[in-house]
Structure 1
Amino acid sequence: MAKFIGAILGFLVGGPLLALLGFAVGTFFDRGLGQAMRFNYGTGRERIQGVFFDTVFRVMGHIAKADGRVCESEVAQTEAIISQLGLTGSRRQDAIDRFKEGSENSFELEPQMADFMEVAKSQPLLRQMLLQALLTMALADGEMAAAERDIVTRVAGYLGVSAKDFQRLLDMVMAQRGFNSSGAYGQDASGSELKKAYQAIGVEESVSDAELKRAYRKLMSQHHPDKLIAKGVPEDMMKIATEKAQEIQAAYDLLKKNRAA
């Protein structure tokens, strides 16, 4: 369509010569638009979603096997996560199959991460969401064993996340787990609760109100469902992002109340 518009405009402005130039420019625009449409809405995004899903559950299985065997509590924990995500039917079976593949002795982490990086190398938000999902799942039982942490740290390395940034994200995820949207916290929150709230937002206690609000808005933007789906995060993984957004909101509300007191 753009090539014909370009040709018409070129002819009206400068005759046949500019008509040819307009046609050529329009052709390039059509090709670029077509590529963008295919990436965002076609097979490109579907492939990203598939690789993201496969990576999450295979690495989950690998983490569960970190201590040498997958125990019953880890299987139950995985089943609970699958149910929490609302996976049913064939999608639920796919998650179980990928988990089992990751728990096999033959599973290799590096090739799996190489597949993921192939589709996410220019998508920092997608890489962050993968790491955050794995941390959330690894901490589902309230703790993360040394062997589990070693695997997640290796994942962070493959994703290009520095040790400092990984520790910061881990501190944030662990702090966020202590909050919900029930409104249980008030202006008389303890010092430890406030400290955890600042960690959940990822800022120091000395930040200004404006800096706090900026950090909060950035986190909420990163967890916006439309943005994540557009980047290739599967829709059935949105539950994690939604819960994280609720925890971030609760932590921010607590800090706002106490700063206003």
Structure 2
Amino acid sequence: MFFLILFGALLGFLIGGPLGLLVGGGLGYWLVRRLRRSVLGQLAGARAQFLDSTFAVMGCMCKADGQVTEAELEASRRLWDRLRLDEAQRAEARAAFTRGKGEDFDLEAELARVRKVVGRQHALLQVFLQVQLEAITADGELHPAEHDMLLRVARGLGCSEAEIAQIEAMLRGGPEAAGGHSLSLEDAYQVLGVDAESSDAEVKKAYRRLMSQNHPDKLAAKGLPESMREVAKERTGEIGNAYERIRKAREAA
């Protein structure tokens, strides 16, 4: 952005001398402000779409087994609390959830909107899927119809079934897995996308790559709603837990 101001000033100086320098610098500054407002506006729109689609798809997912249970409804309300949604945002979330439950809901079109705002940021898509999986497993089990729907959503978002397995492994560890102690070794490898035959260097490389990809600041800059920052933090915590579980197991071997 500073380059535009400098370029405008230099160009103005070459054309009009000292006065041109001032005019060119001023025009460059004006252009920078316009561009910044445009970028921020696009980012705000992307975040709003991401959040709206999150709850719309959640409504569709929760109805996959034929009914939306009270546990699933409560899970959506708990998510509102975690995201610190105000009353207006909660009303929008309820409307989106209801829209997703409707018989005429176009899931593929909704997923296309998510892909458009997310682009190639698979870490964002995984956060999206993690929230969906948390909602449909709120009743303590993942029904076959719900699992099929989850795979359909993952494919519609361009994710692989391996990425779904990674998220499922994270959820099996749960928030109580602080320090990695409650996470099984098999799930820990699944979370990092490596296996028991991977070298220590390969495990560390996978861990660092995932931590970089899932950093909350990076995800926020790519369209993750600010209210979902805590979800992103939990995800990096789970990645860290998995790495510690593997590291300690290998040290003890």
Write the mapping of 1:93-242 to structure 2, written as runs, cut at 5 A: 93-161=91-159, 165=160, 167-177=161-171, 178-179=173-174, 180=176, 182-183=178-179, 185=181, 193-242=184-233
Is the aligned partner of 1:60 residue 2:58?
A: yes
Kindly report the root-mean-square deviation, in angstroms, between the aligned alpha carbons of the 2 structures: 3.0
Residues 180 and 241, structure 2, Cα contact 8 Å, conserved in 1: no
Which deviates further from its counterpart, 56-65 or 214-223? 214-223
Shift, 1:173, TM fit: 1.3
| Residues 26-71 of structure 1, C-alpha deviations (whole Å, 9 max, x = no match) | x89986x66763454x210011001100110000001111123323
Match of 2:10 in 1: 6
Which deviates further from its counterpart, 167-176 or 76-85? 76-85
Residues 181 and 249, structure 1, Cα contact 8 Å, conserved in 2: no
Write the mapping of 1:37-56 to structure 2, written as runs, cut at 5 A: 37-38=36-37, 40=39, 42-56=40-54
Unaligned 5+ runs, structure 2: none
Counterpart secondary structure, 1:205: coil
Q: How high is the TM-score relative to the length of structure 1? A: 0.78
Amino acid in structure 1 at the alignment position of 2:233: T
Which deviates further from its counterpart, 102-111 or 206-215? 102-111
Residues 66 and 147, structure 1, Cα contact 8 Å, conserved in 2: yes
Is the aligned partner of 1:250 residue 2:241?
A: yes
Between the aligned residues of both structures, percent identity stands at 36
Shift, 1:234, TM fit: 0.4
Match of 2:73 in 1: 75
Amino acid in structure 2 at the alignment position of 1:182: A
Distance across 1 between alignment mates of 2:249 and 2:146: 36
| Residues 65-111 of structure 1, C-alpha deviations (whole Å, 9 max, x = no match) | 11233232321222223223333422222222211111122222122
Is the aligned partner of 1:84 residue 2:82?
A: yes
Distance across 2 between alignment mates of 1:127 and 1:36: 27
Residues 180 and 242, structure 2, Cα contact 8 Å, conserved in 1: no
Amino acid in structure 2 at the alignment position of 1:98: A
Amino acid in structure 2 at the alignment position of 1:70: V
Shift, 1:113, TM fit: 1.9
Residues 124 and 224, structure 2, Cα contact 8 Å, conserved in 1: yes
Distance across 1 between alignment mates of 2:33 and 2:130: 32
Counterpart secondary structure, 1:183: helix
Quickly say closer, same or farther: Cα 1:36–1:249, change in 2 above 3 A: farther
Residues 56 and 99, structure 2, Cα contact 8 Å, conserved in 1: yes
Residues 67 and 147, structure 1, Cα contact 8 Å, conserved in 2: yes
Residues 176 and 200, structure 1, Cα contact 8 Å, conserved in 2: yes
Amino acid in structure 1 at the alignment position of 2:167: V
Counterpart secondary structure, 1:151: helix
